[in-house]
Chains A and B, each alone.
Chain A
Amino acid sequence: MNVNWFALAEVLVVGLGTVACVVILFATGIRGMSQRVVARAQGGTGSAGLTVAVSCFSACSLIVLYGLYLIVSH
């Protein structure tokens, strides 16, 4: 019997890291959108919030595309 504990630990660490990145990016993107909505409601442009949101969601999309690439190449 040869249980690959290393691979298992690797799955945990890589999974944890990836998910933390995605969640932080996505949540920050949502905060940006929310910031924009609030700013516009108060008469501002909200462009700062929009910039944050766009960059965060773009980074998230890249991770999703990489996930798609992993599925297709497997």
Chain B
Amino acid sequence: MDVPLLVIVVIATALAFDFTNGFHDTANAMATSIATGALKPKVAVAMSAVLNLVGAFLSVEVAKTISGGIVDDAKITPAVVFAGLVGAIVWNLVTWLVGLPSSSSHALFGGLIGATWIAAGGDAVHFAKVVEKVLIPALASPLIAGLIAMLATYLTYRLTVSADRRVVNSGFRVGQIVSAGLVSLAHGTNDAQKTMGIITLTLITAGMLPASAGPPVWVILCAAIAIALGTYFGGWRITHTLGKGLTSIEGPQGFAAQTSSAAVILTSSHLGFALSTTHVCSGGILGAGMGRKLAEVRWSVAGRMVLAWVMTLPAAAVVGALASEIASTGTAGVVIVALAGIAVAGGIYIASRRKPVTAESTVNQQIGSTDEPETFEVAA
């Protein structure tokens, strides 16, 4: 009974990845709304979780190929998928521990590339596709979103400078909530699909589903619930970095950043040039920071964030490759990788408890309180 065990392990790992994807990306949609106090932290993650759940059911496009042509699909076996997922999860957890928003998609691609390379050789990896689908979008998305958000922030402040402050504050609060909701919904339709695609592909390769079958209902349900639970879990470390670490965010900036992110994500996915949600949202927040006069952008934090983006694919690839090396030796290898993965995840969780970042620390303090209690210092 070699195959069924592997299939079960792959499905569990895929759902675990989906969970990390959820809490890693909560910040994309909700960081600015939380930081400005437009939404209470718990309310924000609950709203994002529900919208991710809804989004996972809404999409009719089935992710039949998970790799998008980056690796040779014909050479993917369940063991390769499993190893790739382990690589992606480990890197997602490491970046979460240090509070850096990195792309979950890049982690997944990286893991798959490393695992495929070891299992089927370098020829099975299409490097030109990697440049086209990963490298170029990674460079372009923060630039595009940042530029648009900068302009949007400038316009927002310019146009409302003479308006009544209370009207401005409550107005942008609503604007922020709506735009954050759109980002969450778009995220649910995209990212939950990846996990559904992986599980479906695994079931097909194991002969449990006919070729070119869509995901069964239970797969959609599991993937939707996993990403929603992950989102509700919060990922406060990354929310802290995006909402407070990069720049200080005011209501109108949050509105400008989120509106820009939502517009860029929707435009790009509609025109067939899929950009990373994480990169778009981070770029949008940076742009909003630059668009407000005298708003300080902490370039050291931004630099570390960019470093994490560059590292994501190769780092996940190395872990994926190692996992692939061991997992391809058979059932015992798969069990060893699974146990090692659980041990690493447990270790990272324990490490995170030593310097916890709570929901409360992601909200901006009242202006004037200089002794802001930082439970987690990103610059440390």
Give me the interface of A with B, judged by CB distance under 8 Å: 1-4, 7-8, 10-12, 14-16, 18-20, 22-24, 26-31, 33-35, 37-38, 64, 67-68, 70-74
Contact with A26, one of B128, B175, B269 (Cβ below 8 angstroms): B175
Cross-chain contact B271 with A22 (CB below 8 angstroms): no
Cross-chain contact A18 with B267 (CB below 8 angstroms): yes
Q: How far is the CA of A8 from the CA of B132 in the complex (A)?
A: 12
Q: How far is the CA of A12 from the CA of B263 in the complex (A)?
A: 10
Q: How far is the CA of A7 from the CA of B136 in the complex (A)?
A: 12
Contact with B270, one of A22, A29, A70 (Cβ below 8 angstroms): A70
Q: How far is the CA of A21 from the CA of B269 in the complex (A)?
A: 20
CB distance from A21 to the nearest CB of B (A): 9
| B121 within 8 Å of A (CB atoms) | no
Given contacts A23-B259, A28-B159, contact A1 B59 (CB under 8 A): no
Q: How far is the CA of A10 from the CA of B172 in the complex (A)?
A: 28
Q: How far is the CA of A65 from the CA of B325 in the complex (A)?
A: 49
B interface, by DSSP: helix, strand, loop or mixed? helix
A interface, by DSSP: helix, strand, loop or mixed? helix
6 closest Cβ pairs, A-B complex:
A27-B159, A34-B163, A1-B128, A34-B164, A30-B171, A7-B273
Q: In the complex, which residues 263-286 of chain B have their Cβ closer than 8 Å to any Cβ of chain A?
A: 263-264, 266-273, 275
Cross-chain contact A16 with B151 (CB below 8 angstroms): yes
Given contacts A23-B152, A31-B159, contact A71 B266 (CB under 8 A): yes
What are 30 of the A-B contact pairs (CB < 8 Å)? A7-B271, A7-B273, A10-B273, A11-B144, A11-B267, A14-B267, A15-B144, A15-B264, A15-B267, A18-B267, A19-B149, A19-B152, A19-B259, A20-B151, A23-B155, A27-B155, A30-B160, A30-B163, A30-B172, A31-B162, A33-B171, A34-B160, A34-B163, A37-B164, A38-B164, A64-B182, A67-B182, A67-B263, A67-B266, A71-B55
Contact with A11, one of B58, B149, B186, B273 (Cβ below 8 angstroms): B273
Residues of B within 8 A of A12 (CB): 144, 147-148
Cross-chain contact B156 with A23 (CB below 8 angstroms): yes
Residues of A within 8 A of B160 (CB): 27, 30-31, 34
